Amino acid sequence: MEINLLVFGQLSDITKCSEMKIAHVNDTQQLIIKLTTQFPELALSKYSVAVNRKVVFENTMLTDKDTVALLPPFSGG
Amino acid sequence: MKEKKKHTVLVEGPITAAFIADSIQKHSSKTNIGAHDIFLGQVRNDLISGKTVVAIEYSAYSEMAEEKFHAIREAAFAKYNLVCMHIYHSTGMVKAGEICLFVFVSTKHRKDAFDACREITEQIKALAPVWGKEIFEDETYTWKELNNGN
């Protein structure tokens, strides 16, 4: 079980890369805990989480090859 | 050009005046249109902590952004009496003074054009996963933050 993680905007300054594979996470909460352990600055950042291009507001189960994206506040236009 | 086809909103680099003029010209054959409204977003040379913004580098979650643009478009067609509409948003580097967003709404009468153009523009700002990196003259940068009305 491995998911694809996409990191955008200012969050990619923290993670130092914009795409990575993450193994052994069953849901978005586990993923965030794992990421925050690895990149403590994430805990201080505001962002939403999208699973397969849909923003989720609650802990969401993940399955193999899901794409999870960390989205800081949008600033287009 | 079929107006309701699904096109790509995100375009590389600035949106030129020639492109905008050409888009307007293409509508001369659509004689049921009585009103166009256009919103153009232009990169501003903000002064931030003593440094001047010379460009914004836009990045996007392209697949999600195109889905959002499509949903915004569908909602606008459902709510307003539109003849056609087009949205273009830049990715990559856009210098201060250049155009980064082009919203073009065509209707029979002006009220729908004004109302739809405003709402679509606000929705793009709020819903599209696009980020602007403000580049300063010394090549350092800060990530753009949106405020109401900005």
* Interface subset of B 53-112, CB within 8 angstroms of A: 58-61, 63-65, 67, 89, 100-101
Q: Which residue ranges make up each domain of chain B?
A: 10-143
CB contact under 8 A, B125 and A72: no
Question: CATH class for domain B10-143?
Answer: alpha beta
Candidates A8, A45, A74: best to mutate against B (most CBs of B within 10 A) is A74
Q: Where are the domains of chain A?
A: 2-71
Asked whether the beta carbons of B63 and B116 are under 8 A apart, the reply is no
Q: Is A8's Cβ below 8 Å from some Cβ in B?
A: yes
Residue B1 is predicted with a pLDDT of 41
pLDDT single digits (tens) B130-141? 999 999 999 999
Asked if pLDDT for residue B31 goes beyond 90, the answer is: yes
Q: From 3.40.50.300, 3.10.20.30, 1.40.20.10, 1.20.1250.20, which CATH number describes the A2-71 domain? A: 3.10.20.30
Instruction: Provide ipTM, 2 decimals.
Output: 0.95
Asked if the Cβ–Cβ distance from A75 to B144 is below 8 Å, we say yes
DSSP assignment of B44-79: ---EETTEEEEEEEEEE-HHHHHHHHHHHHHHHHHH
pLDDT in tens, A12-42: 999 999 999 999 999 999 999 999 999 999 9
